[in-house]
Protein backbone atom coordinates (compact mmCIF):
# COMPACT_ATOMS: atom_id res chain seq x y z
CA UNK A 1 0.00 0.00 0.00
CA UNK A 2 1.36 3.42 -0.95
CA UNK A 3 1.85 5.95 1.85
CA UNK A 4 -0.96 8.44 2.27
CA UNK A 5 -0.29 11.88 0.86
CA UNK A 6 -0.62 15.23 2.50
CA UNK A 7 -3.92 16.98 1.82
CA UNK A 8 -4.61 20.71 1.91
CA UNK A 9 -8.13 21.85 2.76
CA UNK A 10 -9.27 25.48 2.58
CA UNK A 11 -12.14 26.56 4.82
CA UNK A 12 -13.95 29.86 4.21
CA UNK A 13 -14.23 31.85 7.41
CA UNK A 14 -17.86 32.75 6.63
CA UNK A 15 -18.73 29.12 7.38
CA UNK A 16 -15.84 27.77 9.50
CA UNK A 17 -14.19 29.37 12.51
CA UNK A 18 -10.46 29.18 13.10
CA UNK A 19 -11.26 27.92 16.58
CA UNK A 20 -13.33 25.10 15.05
CA UNK A 21 -10.59 24.05 12.64
CA UNK A 22 -7.99 24.09 15.44
CA UNK A 23 -10.29 22.03 17.67
CA UNK A 24 -10.63 19.47 14.86
CA UNK A 25 -6.82 19.40 14.54
CA UNK A 26 -6.56 18.57 18.25
CA UNK A 27 -9.28 15.92 17.99
CA UNK A 28 -7.49 14.23 15.08
CA UNK A 29 -3.99 14.37 16.58
CA UNK A 30 -3.87 10.55 16.88
CA UNK A 31 -4.66 10.17 13.17
CA UNK A 32 -2.71 12.99 11.51
CA UNK A 33 -0.53 16.01 12.01
CA UNK A 34 -2.43 19.12 11.02
CA UNK A 35 -0.93 22.56 10.39
CA UNK A 36 -3.53 25.35 10.54
CA UNK A 37 -2.95 28.81 9.10
CA UNK A 38 -5.06 31.80 8.14
CA UNK A 39 -4.79 33.99 5.06
CA UNK A 40 -7.48 36.51 4.26
CA UNK A 41 -10.92 34.92 4.33
CA UNK A 42 -9.55 31.36 4.34
CA UNK A 43 -8.35 29.03 7.05
CA UNK A 44 -6.05 26.38 5.62
CA UNK A 45 -5.38 22.97 7.13
CA UNK A 46 -2.52 20.85 5.82
CA UNK A 47 -3.28 17.28 6.88
CA UNK A 48 -0.53 14.65 6.94
CA UNK A 49 -2.07 11.27 7.83
CA UNK A 50 -0.41 8.91 10.28
CA UNK A 51 0.27 5.38 8.99
CA UNK A 52 -2.90 3.30 8.95
CA UNK A 53 -5.26 6.28 8.90
CA UNK A 54 -8.47 5.89 6.88
CA UNK A 55 -8.59 7.19 3.30
CA UNK A 56 -11.54 9.42 4.22
CA UNK A 57 -9.52 11.27 6.87
CA UNK A 58 -9.71 14.73 5.22
CA UNK A 59 -13.48 14.40 4.76
CA UNK A 60 -14.01 13.36 8.36
CA UNK A 61 -11.71 16.16 9.54
CA UNK A 62 -13.80 18.69 7.58
CA UNK A 63 -17.00 17.41 9.20
CA UNK A 64 -15.42 17.79 12.64
CA UNK A 65 -14.23 21.33 11.82
CA UNK A 66 -17.73 22.31 10.70
CA UNK A 67 -19.30 20.85 13.84
CA UNK A 68 -16.80 22.71 16.04
CA UNK A 69 -17.46 25.99 14.20
CA UNK A 70 -20.99 26.38 15.44
pLDDT digits (tens, 9 = 90+) for 29-52: 999 999 999 999 999 999 999 998
Residue 32: predicted pLDDT: 96
Residue 52: predicted pLDDT: 87
Q: What are the backbone angles phi and psi of residue 57, rounded to the nearest 5°?
A: -55, -45
DSSP state of 17: -
**In this structure, is residue 13 part of a structural domain?**
yes
Closest C-alpha among 70, 16, 67, 3 to residue 45: 16
Q: Does the pLDDT value for residue 1 go beyond 60?
A: no
Domain that holds residue 43: 7-68
Per cent of the chain over pLDDT 70 is 94
Residue 54: predicted pLDDT: 86
**In this structure, is residue 28 part of a structural domain?**
yes
Q: Which residue has the higher pLDDT, 1 or 17?
A: 17
Angle at the Cα of 41 from the Cα atoms of 39 and 27, rounded to 5 degrees: 75
Number of domains in the chain: 1
**In this structure, is residue 1 part of a structural domain?**
no
User: Any residues with CB less than 8 A from the CB of 33 and at least 6 apart, and which?
Assistant: 47, 48, 50
Closest C-alpha among 49, 4, 44, 55 to residue 31: 49
Amino acid sequence: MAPKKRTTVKFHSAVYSERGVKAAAEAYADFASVAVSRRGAYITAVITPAPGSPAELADEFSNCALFNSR
